[in-house]
Amino acid sequence: MYFATLAHATCPVWSACKIEVIPISDTDRAASPASPISSLEGGEMTRNDSVDRFCVWINCRMCISDAGSVLRTGPWRILAWTEKDRDSLKENLVSFKPACQSLKRVRVLLLGPAGSGKSSFINSVRSVMYGRVVLLPNIGISAEGFTKRLKCYDIRSERGEKPTALTLCDVLALGDGETTGLTLPDALAVIKGHAPEGHKFQSEAPIDAKCAGYRPEPSMNDKIHCAVFVLDACQVLTYSEGQQTTMRRFHFELSDLDIPQVVLLTHVDQVCHTVQEDVKFVYTGRILQEKMQKAAEVVGLSVSHVFPVKNYSSELSVSCNTDILLLNAVHHILQAVDDTFEDYCPPSPSPLSTGPQHSTSTPVTV
């Protein structure tokens, strides 16, 4: 196989890497200008007549990571990466109010296998809002998962400020099949608002009316309004059949309840070195695009419901681009809630409206 050596003084990752040479047909060559690659920021093209191929020297915008992921010359999703955009996303979260009048807060449930990054995502969102990496005791390493109780975290604009309209809820990790991890009946009890804050999950003691703090008639604001599946980009291709079956079962049950669902793909920096250097390349790599497609397939959703994130895990300070990726995911979660509840809640009253407002049932039913 023929290769062209890629080297560029401004490459943030490598001083040299290899890219497969590109075969060009006679038709394409005839239609090409004399310097067909001249527009690629100073790149140049040479022809090797003996193999009838073109060896291309281009800059690091189209390099290959050690995982074999060709970076495209342009992103397949567009996201702005300036501090102004980061501040705008933060302000949107702080000022967000649910479109549904009767919904005071948006309660988002994080679901995922052990080690997928559920608790780290909560910690990371708080870090974004505080402008520094927050160290919470809910982060740990365990084969069975660190979280054992239902724990809900209000997201505040700053330390000591009043909460925003977003609450992130953490639960026991999903298991491999029906005998381990969070059971579907317990998950539904949480989603329908029956489970009290701090409930400890135990396989031999499912959530029912006998549990302390059980809510027999939960209000709309006690219920879960969006479910987020958190999957590990390093593991998404190797999840067991039992794990995939569990997630699809949850997806089907949640769909029956009209609960909006989103997928977060974590640890994206660990599968592509370019993204590890700068997450703004997250929508440029082919291998991450394929992992997002697999994540959608595992749960049973479309790729438009999948959002890559990088949690703060080893850093001691926040960065603008990582903040943007996290806030963008939060933005789409809140949008998914508003999009769903638009069909179930009464519209905001108009100053010109004189007739009664007719409410309808909420998406979550008991």
Q: Residues 6 or more apart from 354 whose CB is under 8 A from it?
A: none
C-alpha to C-alpha distance for 199 and 148, rounded to whole angstroms: 9
Neighbours of 70 (CB within 10 A): 14
Burial of 36 (0-12, 13-18, 19+ CB in 10 A): middle
Cα distances from 356 to residues 64, 343, 352, in angstroms, run 62, 18, 12
Residue type, 27: T
- 25-31's contacts with Cβ under 8 Å and 24+ in sequence apart are none
Q: Which domains does the chain have, with CATH numbers?
A: 3-62 (no CATH), 83-341 (3.40.50.300)
Q: Which pLDDT tens digit goes with each residue over 75-116?
A: 899 999 999 999 999 999 999 999 988 899 999 999 999 999
In angstroms, how far apart are the furthest CA atoms of the chain?
82
Report the predicted TM-score, pTM, of the whole model to 2 decimal places. 0.78
Q: Residues 6 or more apart from 351 whose CB is under 8 A from it?
A: none
pLDDT value of residue 365: 46
Nearest to 73 by CA among 28, 104, 118, 39: 39
Phi, psi of 249 (to 5 degrees): -60, -45
pLDDT value of residue 177: 76
pLDDT value of residue 147: 84
pLDDT value of residue 29: 42
Contact 87, 145 (CB under 8 A): no
pLDDT value of residue 179: 74
By DSSP bridging, strand 106-111 and strand 163-170 are parallel
pLDDT value of residue 270: 95
With residue 308 as reference, give the H or E element that holds it.
strand 306-308
Locate the DSSP E strands across 1-48: 3-6, 17-20, 22-23, 44-48
| Mean pLDDT score, 188-207 | 93
Residue type, 173: A
C-alpha to C-alpha distance for 165 and 84, rounded to whole angstroms: 22
pLDDT higher than threshold 60 for residue 19: no
What rounded mean pLDDT belongs to the chain?
80
CA atoms lying within 13 Å on the CB side of residue 245: 9
